[in-house]
Amino acid sequence: MALPTIDETYFTTFLVDLLNIASPTGFAEPAIAFVEKELSKYKQLELSRTRKGALVARWEVKSDLPPVALTAHVDTLGAVVKEIKSNGRLKLSRIGGIQWPTVETEGVWIITSKGERIRGSVLIDTASGHIYSGAGGETPRNDAHMEVRIDARTTSEKETRELGINIGDCVAFDPRVEVTNGFIRSRFLDDKACVANLVAAIKSMAEAGRSPERSVYFHISNYEEVGHGAAAGIPSDVAELISVDMAVVGDGQESG
């Protein structure tokens, strides 16, 4: 019997909404909650959270076959505030393996401990050609030279702190989501596209009145980008764990 058809419109809408939720590792709760709310529509699923905050959806069926688990993650690359410089700008520590040249000039949101969102841009500290001449092209794109310039009138550490920004605040890079001619172009398709695939498959199966041949756990993890996403929280009765991740494609280049 053929599998039910995936609702591509639903898949795209869900994915775009998920991509637009800032969720760097350690700050992925809004994305987890979004997926949880969507999966709560299906009575076939039993939802729970792990101690680390990951979402587990269990679709139980009567079968002699042992359960399997599919895992995908909603957390993304990002950064935290490492230092507030004397000129009011921010030094960052990267979360995961983001490469500085790929986010130079990118817009960011600084998410404070109180949940406020403050806008800024990532630039090198010698960005102005009028001031530094050709030095900007020679400046290494690394932790020492990349900074966030805040969209606020601040020229000192004191003024920046008065905005509510502190060491350890989350910094989320713009995903730049575009949908054109059926193609979805965005940062962080790794691995939100795979989460959307799982959710869309669940929807199609449930609405068609179909069930898997064995019990299945859907494990939506929130710490993959720092190396321990599905390292915990997998139920003990699982016979096989399948990671649904698009981080590496055929030519060995990282995607998303």
Catalytic residues: 224
Buried-state track 129-139, b at ≥16 Cβ within 10 A, e below 16 = eeeeeeebeeb
Token representation of residue 105: 């000039």
Cα–Cα distance measured from residue 215 to residue 171, given in angstroms and rounded to the nearest whole number: 38
CA 145 to chain centre: 25
| Three-state SS annotation for 79-101 | EEEEEECCCCCEEEEEECCCCHH
Cα–Cα distance measured from residue 172 to residue 176, given in angstroms and rounded to the nearest whole number: 12
Cβ-contact 200, 211 below 8 angstroms:
no
Token representation of residue 158: 């004191």
Of 249, 72, 87, the closest CA to residue 155 belongs to 87
Cβ-contact 111, 119 below 8 angstroms:
no
Cα–Cα distance measured from residue 55 to residue 198, given in angstroms and rounded to the nearest whole number: 13
Main-chain phi, psi angles of 158, to 5 degrees: -60, -45
